[in-house]
């Protein structure tokens, strides 16, 4: 029986002392997620793992309501974000050493049908991409100061690549006042590949390089993940890098 299958890989990189990324793949529920934590004294690691554990638990809890139509994908994904936000805040309040920890979170829920749909939600700068017919399209928009500057015409795309604020988030789980996600529905073709990733990938590889690697992988999500990690490390591995590739098998 064919289905959408997700493969995930995470690597500490070549610079960081610990891996503050986390991911989950729950193929039988059609749910996948990536988180990239931040915060001192292992706070980022705790935040990312808390968010991912909460997301997986909510996916299991909502499996029947989603299947029976008693809950919409959009309501589910907003619940995931709010519950993850609350979980990180609660954990931070329990330990002063974890104060101000937070995490990005990008999630994807797949719904089947004549036309399968990928329902994306994200907070922060972990990204979702669609790879179709050899072309890579960024589906999410980073919640960063740089994106705000670009939208307002304050800087050019060329300036954004080296701007000192390029990694400053405007929204994050556990830190921002609101964890309201951006939501997007993507109608899919069975030959599509979806990619979720932390910014450890996109710091090292631009979209053109990612597209070339995915093209060479010929639709194999295992090869996609392995080669993206390998190339990211070959470029310097300056951050933790996490990727989840989802394909129809």
Q: What domains can you pick out in the chain, each with its CATH number? A: 4-248 (3.60.40.10)
* Distance (Å, whole) CA 59 – CA 109: 9
First to last CA, the chain: 9
Give residue-wise pLDDT tens across range 124-169: 999 999 999 999 999 999 999 999 898 899 989 888 888 888 889 9
* Distance (Å, whole) CA 53 – CA 223: 26
The pLDDT of residue 1 is 52
* Distance (Å, whole) CA 229 – CA 198: 11
Q: What is the mean pLDDT of the chain?
A: 95
Which residue, chain included where needed, has tokens 């986390």?
A: 22
* Distance (Å, whole) CA 188 – CA 171: 28
The 10 Å Cβ neighbour count of residue 69 is 7
Mean pLDDT of 113-131: 97
pLDDT at 47 over 80: yes
Give residue-wise pLDDT tens across range 140-150: 999 999 998 98
**Residue 24, H or E segment:** strand 21-26
Give residue-wise pLDDT tens across range 166-213: 889 999 999 978 789 999 999 999 999 999 999 999 999 999 999 999
Both tokens of 38, joined, read 């931040």
The pLDDT of residue 160 is 84
């Amino acid at each position: 029986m064919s289905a959408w299958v997700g493969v995930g890989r995470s690597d500490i990189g070549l610079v960081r002392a610990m891996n503050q990324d986390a991911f989950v793949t729950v193929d039988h529920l059609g749910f996948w997620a990536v988180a990239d934590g931040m915060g001192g004294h292992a706070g980022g690691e705790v935040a990312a793992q808390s968010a991912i554990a909460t997301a997986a638990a909510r996916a299991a809890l909502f499996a029947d309501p989603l299947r029976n139509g008693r809950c919409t994908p959009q309501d589910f994904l907003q619940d995931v974000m709010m519950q993850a936000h609350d979980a990180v805040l609660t954990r931070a309040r329990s330990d002063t050493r974890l104060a101000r920890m937070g995490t990005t979170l990008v999630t994807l829920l797949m719904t089947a049908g004549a036309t399968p749909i990928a329902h994306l939600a994200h907070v922060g700068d972990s990204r979702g991409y669609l790879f179709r017919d050899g072309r890579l399209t960024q589906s999410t928009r980073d919640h960063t100061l740089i994106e705000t500057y670009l939208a307002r015409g304050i800087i050019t795309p060329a300036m954004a690549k080296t701007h000192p604020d390029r990694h400053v988030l405007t929204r994050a789980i556990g830190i921002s006042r609101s964890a309201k996600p951006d939501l997007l529905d993507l109608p899919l073709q069975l030959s599509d590949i979806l990619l979720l990733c932390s910014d450890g990938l996109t710091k090292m590889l631009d979209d053109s390089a990612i597209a070339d690697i995915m093209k060479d992988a010929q639709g194999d999500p295992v090869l996609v993940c392995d080669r993206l990690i390998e190339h990211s490390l070959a470029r310097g591995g300056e951050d933790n890098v996490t990727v989840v590739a989802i394909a129809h098998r």
